[in-house]
Amino acid sequence: MSATYPIHHITLSVNDIKANTEWFQNLFGPADIVEREFENFSRTRMTWPALHDLRIAVISHNEADKSSRFSHLQPGLDHLGFECASSAEVGEWAAKLNALGYTHGPIEDVQYAVTVTARTPDGIDIEFFFPK
């Protein structure tokens, strides 16, 4: 058995599949899409072959409280972090977020990393991270 495993995919619970699918495709580019409808939920899986087969799915459960938004203050997911090759790349992501009109925090240059963080339409933090 291998000591470590790469993450195959990430599935995020969202209120609006369409808005989140567009948000991620605007950010990472066009994705290969697989949409599925189930009795109790709908899911869209996006795959970016050019980005090492990055796979992000967004799922909306019929019974979910659509008035609530994600909160990193509740147990569960806090944020997703994508590693960058350099601090300059973090700056490039910040510029892309600006060009897309996506709200984001400042570029932070701290002792252990350079980062910039944005939020999806449902408020999930997406961080671009260069470890020092």
DSSP symbols for 54-91 = EEEEEEEETTS-TT----TTSSS--EEEEE-SSHHHHH
> What is the structure's pLDDT at 108?
97
pLDDT in tens, 28-81: 999 999 999 999 999 999 999 999 999 999 999 998 888 888 888 887 888 999
Please state, in angstroms and rounded to a whole number, the distance separating the CA atoms of residues 25 and 30.
Answer: 5
Q: In the chain, list all ranges with CATH 3.10.180.10.
A: 1-64, 78-132
DSSP symbol at 15 = S
Assigned CATH topology for domain 1-64: 2,3-Dihydroxybiphenyl 1,2-Dioxygenase; domain 1 (3.10.180)
> What is the structure's pLDDT at 74?
80
pLDDT in tens, 9-25: 999 999 999 999 999 99
Q: Single out the residue of 106, 131, 130 nearest to residue 118, CA to CA.
A: 106
Assigned CATH topology for domain 78-132: 2,3-Dihydroxybiphenyl 1,2-Dioxygenase; domain 1 (3.10.180)
Q: What residues contact 18, with CB distance under 8 A and at least 6 apart?
A: none
> What is the structure's pLDDT at 1?
55
Strand partners, 115: 108, 129
pTM: 0.87
Query: Is residue 90 pLDDT above 70, yes or no?
Result: yes
